Structure 1
Amino acid sequence: MSSRTPDRTPAEPVTPPGDDRGLRADARRNRERVLRTAQRLFAAHGLGVPLDEIARRAGVGPGTVHRHFPTKEALYLAVAIDRIRRLVAEGEALAGTGDPAALFTLLSRMTASGAENAAVKSALAAAEFDLRDAAPDAAADLTHQVARLLDRARRAGVVRHDVTADEVMAIVAGAFAAIRHAGEDAGQERSAHIAGIILDGLRPR
């Protein structure tokens, strides 16, 4: 008989990547810990971190990770979707501040997030995952938050009047590409500088 201690975590239902609705409170907490830990480890050590190591660092059993994320691709997708939803929440919070330049704050955070998760997004692209198809509601919610802040910035005269929300999203995607082109050694400071140069094009002439 094996002396290995089994994973005693009660069985948790498998949920679609990025969706924790319907989970028990303890299962939701476990899932959140796994996502936060995976984000940190991927950013620090790349995508080769084993699922079992993520489980150990998150303080849960390997079975818990595999139930929520049966494959590495499922975890990559959940990490990316979770980050979009966190940006949506940041957009909602910024909308409540009344700051007319809050659009630039959100866009800066979006570019920083994109730079941090570039490897995750590249892995999803290689696996032929499109976030807009995999999480259309989250993507639409983020665009909506950008549009809200863009409208306020326009009224205050801190952004060009001839730019649309879709164009802003395209500009952010362009900033991601520029940061990736700068290479992995660009660092946060240089990445922020590159993003700032690009986002300055949104300001009134």
Structure 2
Amino acid sequence: MVPQTGRAARATRESGRQTRDALFTAATELFLEHGEGVPITQICAAAGAHPNQVTYYYGSKERLFVEVACAAVLRAGKRAEDDAATAETVGDYTEKLVGSLLGPGAPSVELFTSAMLMTGRRSELRDLITDTLRTLHSSGEVALIRTLMRTGWQLRAGIDVESKAFWSAIFGLVIQKTATGESFGYSLEEAVAVIFANLQIPETVRNTSID
């Protein structure tokens, strides 16, 4: 086999990156709309790729799904933090944060809960989930805890524990919403109350200014 020249090798790598990115983009759109049951052939048709390229670039459809889900939930968390940035009170901040995650961000959070369940039977994918959870626990939700601390609210435990409690509540609410349909019995105010209860935040803190 004749070795590729530097230019040819770079072109091959670039083509590979484009194919990998096209598969990821197509899979993101389809998984968010239809869930993990989307067939590889449909993803490849949307990406202009071949089924064996999913295996080549991702190892399996399941790994592609988990990578998509992890990226999606991180985007949802960042968007929720941005949405809440203009809030003036603790209650408004929490409503915007939770409203974003249970509203526009819900499909992404739901996808991630499915990915977490998938790792129960695909242990080789657990590192992806673990790394994503670590990032979630140290970013957007920490902003909520620090916001609350500025009001004089006292932590029950370390900030890492409180952060995990926040996301556990969000995942639980999204699973309920998924299981029971679009209207799952909670208004935004009730969902915020669940978060407050889960973190044991006094209701009197709700109207406290965060300036």
* CA distance in structure 2 between the partners assigned to 1:36 and 1:102 by the alignment: 29
* Higher Cα Rg, which structure: 2
Shift of residue 151, structure 1, vs aligned partner: 0.8
Equivalent residues of 1:73, 1:124 under 8 A apart? no
Shift of residue 104, structure 1, vs aligned partner: 4.4
- Range with greater deviation from structure 2 (88-97 or 72-81): 88-97
RMSD across aligned positions (CA): 3.6
TM-score (ref. length: structure 1): 0.63
2:61 corresponds to which residue? 72
Q: Are positions 1:161 and 2:154 aligned together?
A: yes
| Count of aligned pairs | 178
- Which letter maps to 2:181? G
TM-score (ref. length: structure 2): 0.62
2:202 corresponds to which residue? 204
- Which secondary structure state, in structure 1, belongs to the residue aligned with residue 154 of structure 2? coil
Q: Are positions 1:144 and 2:135 aligned together?
A: no
1:105 corresponds to which residue? 96
Equivalent residues of 1:103, 1:153 under 8 A apart? no
5+ residue gaps, structure 2, are 1-10, 204-211
Residues 105-135 of structure 1, C-alpha deviation per residue, up to 9 Å, x if partnerless? 334544534335433332222223565x335
* CA distance in structure 1 between the partners assigned to 2:178 and 2:21 by the alignment: 35
Structure 1 residues 106, 35: closer, same or farther in 2, change over 3 A? Answer: farther
5+ residue gaps, structure 1, are 1-9, 14-22
- Which letter maps to 1:170? A
Residues 89-117 of structure 1, C-alpha deviation per residue, up to 9 Å, x if partnerless? 32552475355543443345445343354
* CA distance in structure 1 between the partners assigned to 2:99 and 2:12 by the alignment: 40
